[in-house]
C-alpha cells in the first residue's frame, strides 16, 4: 500500500498525514480548511479539492474527523467510499458509538471495503 487518502487535517490529522508523507507514502489530503490542505502540500503531500479527489484510487482511506455524522458524510455523501480503489480499507478515527461504527462497517464491507474502527483521543 503506497497511496493513501486522508480526510481531516486538523490538529491530530495533520500530524498523522505528515508522518505518513515522511515515511514515503503518497498521501492526498482534504480538509474544509484550505490552509491545512496547503500545509500538507508544502510538506510533500498532495492537495485535494474534495473528499472524492482525496480518495480517488487510494489504496486506503483514513478518516480523521470529529464524529460519526462527519465520518458518514465523508464516506457516503461526499464520495469517499465510491472513489476508493477496489478492496481498499477504510480506517475511521472518529469518536463513534459502537452501533454507528457497526453500521458504517456493514455499508463499507457491502461495497467491498474492509472497515477499521480506530478512534483516537487528544
pLDDT in tens, 4-19: 999 999 999 999 999 9
pLDDT band at 121 (very low <50, low <70, confident <90, very high): confident
> Sorting pLDDT into bands at 50, 70 and 90, what band is 122?
low
Q: How many Å apart are CA 102 and CA 115, to the nearest integer?
A: 9
Q: How far apart are CA 75 and CA 70, in angstroms?
A: 9
**Beta carbons of 93 and 87 less than 8 angstroms apart:** no
pLDDT of the residue at 100: 96
Residue 41 to residue 121: CA distance in whole angstroms: 25
Query: Residue 91 above 90 pLDDT?
Result: yes
Tell me the mean pLDDT in the region 14-41.
Answer: 97
The arithmetic mean of pLDDT across residues 24-28, rounded, is: 97
pTM over 0.85: yes
Alpha-carbon gap, residue 59 to 9, rounded angstroms = 19
Element (H, E) at 71: helix 68-72
CA 40 to chain centre: 14
Give tens-digit pLDDT for 38-73.
999 999 999 999 999 999 999 999 999 999 999 999
Residue 1 has pLDDT above 80, yes or no: no
End-to-end CA distance of the chain: 27
Q: Per-residue pLDDT for 108 more than 80?
A: yes
Amino acid at each position: 500500500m503506497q497511496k493513501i487518502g486522508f480526510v481531516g487535517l486538523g490538529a491530530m490529522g495533520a500530524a498523522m498525514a505528515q508522518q505518513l508523507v515522511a515515511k514515503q507514502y503518497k498521501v492526498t489530503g482534504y480538509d474544509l480548511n484550505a490552509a491545512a490542505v496547503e500545509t500538507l502540500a508544502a510538506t510533500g503531500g498532495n492537495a485535494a479539492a474534495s473528499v472524492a479527489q482525496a480518495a480517488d484510487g487510494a489504496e486506503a482511506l483514513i478518516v480523521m474527523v470529529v464524529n460519526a455524522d462527519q465520518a458518514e458524510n465523508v464516506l457516503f455523501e461526499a464520495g469517499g467510499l465510491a472513489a476508493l480503489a477496489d478492496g481498499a480499507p477504510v480506517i475511521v478515527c472518529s469518536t463513534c458509538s459502537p452501533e454507528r461504527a457497526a453500521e458504517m462497517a456493514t455499508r463499507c464491507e457491502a461495497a467491498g471495503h474492509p472497515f477499521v474502527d480506530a478512534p483516537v483521543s487528544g
